[in-house]
Structure 1
Amino acid sequence: MSRIIAAACTLAALSLSSAAFAQEGDAAAGETVFKKCAACHNVSDAKHKVGPSLQGVIGRQPGTAEGFKYSKPMMDFGTGKVWDDAQLTAYLANPRGVVKGTRMAFAGLKDPKDVSNVIAYLKTFPAAQ
C-alpha cells in the first residue's frame, strides 16, 4: 500500500512540475528582467557586446553566434544542443553550474518566474532574415 501511495505522490509531483514548466512567461515582464542582462547582451540586432547578441538565440546551437569569440567550455557545451526552453531554463538559473568554465560572470536568475519571463522576451527576437 505504501508503494502505491509513494508512486501516486511521485506522479503528482511530476505532473505539477511539468505543468509549471509548461507555463508561458510574460514577455513584457521579461523585458524588465532583461535589463540585468542588457549591459552585456543585445537582442534588437545581431551586434555583439561583451556577450553575444541574443537575437535569434531560441533554436540556435550554444556557442555559435557568428562573429563572437566563445570560451572553449561554451563551445564544447553546445555540441549537439540547441537553446530551447529547457536548456535556457537551466542555464539562466545557474550559468556556471551548467557550463563549467564559462566566462559569463552573471550568477543567474534565482526566481523561476523571472527565467520564464526572460525566455518569453527572447522569443520576441527571432533571427534576422
Structure 2
Amino acid sequence: MRRIVLAAAAAAVLALPAHADGDAEKGEKVFKKCRACHEIGEGAKNKVGPELNGVIGRTAGTGADFKYSDAMVEAGAGGLVWNDDTLEEYLSKPRDFIPKNKMAFAGLKKEDEIEDVIAYLEQYSQ
C-alpha cells in the first residue's frame, strides 16, 4: 500500500496538466455504470459513493460530507491526487490501486471507456 501511495504521489507531483483523450459525450453514456453509486452535475449528492463534482485535482478521500474508507483517506494523506493518470489506474482496477477501499465495482476494462469517463468527469472539475 505504501508503495502505491508513494508512486501515486510522485505521479501527481510530476504530472503536467493533462487532459483526457476521451470523448465526454461517450463518457456520459459509460458513466451510467457508475450512477448506481455516484452522482455528478448540478444538485449531485453523495450516495453509496461520493458525488464526483470537482474530483479531478482533489486529494483522495477528501470530498465533503462522505465517510471514506480508511484506505482512501490514507491514500490521500500520502499525497494521492486525482488526475488523468491516477484515475485511469483506479478506474481499471480500483481494489488493486487502493486495496481495502469501499468501491465494489470491479473496474472498466476498455481503455477507451476509461478515457471517455475521465473526459466526462473533467467537465465537472473546472
TM-score interval for Structure 1 and Structure 2 normalised by the shorter chain: 0.7 to 0.9
Q: Which residue of 2 aligns with 1:43?
A: 40
- Deviation of 1:94 after TM superposition, in Å, equals 0.2
Match of 1:70 among 47, 51, 68: 68
Task: State the match for 2:29 in structure 1.
Answer: 32
Say whether 1:123 aligns with 2:90: no
* In 2: Cα distance, 1:123 partner to 1:50 partner: 21
In structure 2, the partner of 1:85 is: 84
Aligned residues: 107
The superposition leaves residues 71-102 of structure 1 with CA deviations (integer Å, 9 ceiling, x where unpaired) of: 00011112212100000000000000001001
The 3 A distance-change label for structure 1 pair 105 and 23 is closer
Task: Supply the RMSD in Å over aligned alpha carbons.
Answer: 1.6
Which secondary structure does the structure 2 equivalent of 1:89 belong to?
A: helix
How far apart are residue 23 of structure 1 and its match?
Answer: 6.1
User: CA deviation digits over 1:27-52, x for unaligned, max 9?
Assistant: 00000000000110011134101100
For structure 2, the 5+ residue unaligned runs are 1-17
Aligned match of 1:54: 52
Matched residues, percent identical?
50
CA distance in 2, matches of 1:93, 1:51: 17
Extract unaligned runs of 5+ from structure 1.
1-20
- Which position in structure 2 is the counterpart of 1:15? none
**Equivalent position SS for 1:35:** helix
Moved over 2 A (4+): none
Task: Please state how far the C-alpha of 1:126 moved relative to its aligned partner.
Answer: 2.6
Distance in 1 of aligned mates of 2:46 and 2:72 = 16
- 1:5 corresponding residue in structure 2: none
Higher RCO by CA contacts (8 Å cutoff, separation 6 or greater): 2
Deviates more, 1:33-42 or 1:22-31: 22-31
